[in-house]
Structure 1
Amino acid sequence: MTSSHTHKWGLRNGSSTGRRSRAPGEAEGKRALAVTGRAGFVARGVVYVLVGVLALRIAFGDGGREADRQGALQQVAAQPFGKAMLWLLVVGFGCMAIWRGSRALPAKGPKNKVGSRMLDGGRAVFYGFVCWGTASFAAGTGGSSGSDAKSRDWTASALRLPGGQVLVGLAGCVLIGVGATLAVRALMRRFLRRLETGRMSRRVRQVVTGLGVGGGAARGAVFAGVGVFVLVAAIRFDPHQAKGMDATLRTFAHTPAGPWLLVAVAVGLVLFGGFSFASARWRRL
């Protein structure tokens, strides 16, 4: 009986020791993923700030560059050490894809829901394409077309498929829904749940909240606007009706509100870039 008891105690103690021996490795892995995620948020912030600045220039009559990711990359490339900065963005977007992909993997815990994992998986794929496109631009082997041309090309290809008109219409509805969801969640301040607000001072929390509300609402408006044009392209069976981020932003300047609506959205995109930087600092990763 003593031998049996000792044997069982030894198994329990051995498994506990095994857990302790794995703990440092698990902790290091989590820290590495946290650093990866923060690098991704910084890269996202850089692009949104630049897109917002380009949109502001369009609103005030300087429409030389496209207000989308392509235009932002061109802005970066034009700076001193622009090539090195572009490759840093490649690394950042790659990090974001890896971090989102890690969150899409099954794990223990009530917060690891299937819907959340699927959403993170989709984001991982998206940032993978962003990383690839940025790398192609940095290497000079591709990425010459802007969001408007890509949107028309993708829409035209989809419309040629069997049932393509329905697929494009559904894609437009999804984008509208995503945009509305982003805006509503921002206005409800749902993003605060994912931030370590306890580590912020009162003033910093107010600033971060303003960045998240204004930036998230503007980002949602752009997504919804792109979705509306995709839906119109499906209804009219005309791929030229589809617009990317640049053309959508320019459309805001031709509303009854005049260029001031575009100014508001552009400022909001800059704010979202600032919120991305805040997420790199205070996001729970």
Structure 2
Amino acid sequence: MGTAALGRRGKLRARQASNSSAMEAAARWGFVARGVLYLLVGVLALRIAFGDGGQEADRGGALKEVAEQPLGSFLLWALGIALVGMALWRLSEACFGAAGPDGHKPRKRLFSLARFLFYGFVAYSVLSFAAGTAGSGSGSSDKQSEDVTARAMELPGGQWIVGIGGLAIAVTGLWIASRAALRKYHKHLKMSALHGRTRQAVDVTGVAGGVARGAVFTVLGGFAVKAAANYEPDKAKGIDDTLRSFSDTPAGPWLLVLIAVGLAMFGLFSFAMARWRKI
């Protein structure tokens, strides 16, 4: 058999693997893991809004919360492995295209590649924490943001790099919020299987959760742009400080309450995606 034929057979097997029931299960468990993390971050943010600011409202705080539960170590490994599944599913979309009529477009595949890198990093941080590695995913997101910003600013054109990166995050946040408000997620769901109150619940959590998530990303990016403009790396904020900043607005802690509830709703929406998402 020639090299070309072997190559075609290899590609066919890889495509079949990407469409297998195992890959579908990996994606669905990945959505469950994402839901758990967002739900916990929302709960931690609510505690901060009501005066209990002892735990950080970010991925590190969520992982510590999981670790303190019965069978916490097992749950951490399960979350990490599930997120690996999510990353691999996104990689298969980048390589072979996603579900839907436009899933093979270069733009969609590029987005899938970006999501693969993101979930790959998140999975690594969760598994590192589960393994007890120092400086793993339990670290403060605020300190990490300051360190990364400071190192980036030391590079040639560092201010521009940080500023453009922050602007990209802010624009992504607006994009996430607008798509949620317009219910663009409908095309990814098996809408024929959703009826009555179930459909209403999915829409409430999808819209409220997506808008809250988008708002957090937008403000997070804004802080990075401000840090770059003023050449002050310590002004860059992680998720925890970004969430706390909502309490500094004229609305006081109630705006943080709304954002926290929204993030928890996005966690619930992720559970719905695990059940009804087209894979």
Q: TM-score by structure 1 length? A: 0.89
Structure 2: distance between partners of 1:222 and 1:59: 15
Mapped partners of 1:122, 1:86: distance in 2: 24
- Determine whether 1:174 maps to 2:137: no
Which structure has the bigger radius of gyration? Answer: 1
Change (3 A) 1:28 1:243: closer
- 1:229 aligns with 223
1:248 aligned residue (242, 246, 251): 242
Counterparts of 1:202 and 1:79 in 2: how far apart (Å)? 35
Residue identity in the other structure for 1:130: V
- Give the residue type in structure 2 aligned to 1:220: G
User: C-alpha deviations, 1:165-200, integer Å up to 9, x for none?
Assistant: 001000010011000000000000101110001011
Query: Which among 84, 104, 114 is matched to residue 74 of structure 2?
Result: 84
Aligned position for 1:127? 119
Q: CA deviation at 1:64?
A: 0.5
C-alpha separation in 1, matches of 2:91 and 2:103: 16
Q: Give aligned-pair identity as a percent.
A: 51
1:70 counterpart = 2:60: yes
Q: Relative to 1, partners in 2 of residues 1:111 and 1:254: Cα closer, same or farther, differing over 3 Å?
A: same
Q: Deviations over 1:130-172 (max 9, x none)?
A: 1111111111113242110110010001000000100100001
Question: What is the aligned partner in structure 2 of residue 184 from structure 1?
Answer: 178
| CA deviations over 1:41-81 (Å, ceiling 9, x no partner) | 00000000000000000000000000000000000000010
Q: Which residue identity is paired with 1:65?
A: Q
Match among 191, 195, 210 for residue 216 of structure 1? 210
1:53 equivalent to 2:53? Answer no
* Distance in 2 of aligned mates of 1:197 and 1:54: 32
Query: Would the alpha carbon gap of residues 107 and 240 (structure 1) be closer, same or farther in structure 2, given more than 3 Å must change?
Result: closer
Q: Does 1:150 align with 2:140?
A: no
Question: In the alignment, does 2:256 pair up with 1:283?
Answer: no
Distance 1:27 1:97 in 2: 15
Unmatched segments (≥5 aa) in structure 2: 1-11
Q: Which residue identity does 1:223 align to in structure 2?
A: F
Which amino acid is 1:209 matched to? Answer: D
Q: How many residues align?
A: 264
Which consecutive segments of 4 or more residues in structure 1 shift more than 6 A? none
TM-score, normalised to structure 2, is 0.91
CA drift of 1:28 comes to 9.0
**2:256 maps to what in 1?**
262
What one-letter code is carried by the residue in structure 2 that aligns with 1:100?
R
Indicate the residue corresponding to 1:5 in structure 2. none
Alignment CA distance shift 1:276-1:238 (3 Å) = same
State the Cα RMSD in Å: 1.8
- 1:7 corresponds to which residue? none
Residues 156 and 80 (structure 1 numbering): CA distance in 2 closer, same or farther, change over 3 Å? Answer: same
Q: 1:65 to 1:235 in 2, by over 3 A?
A: same
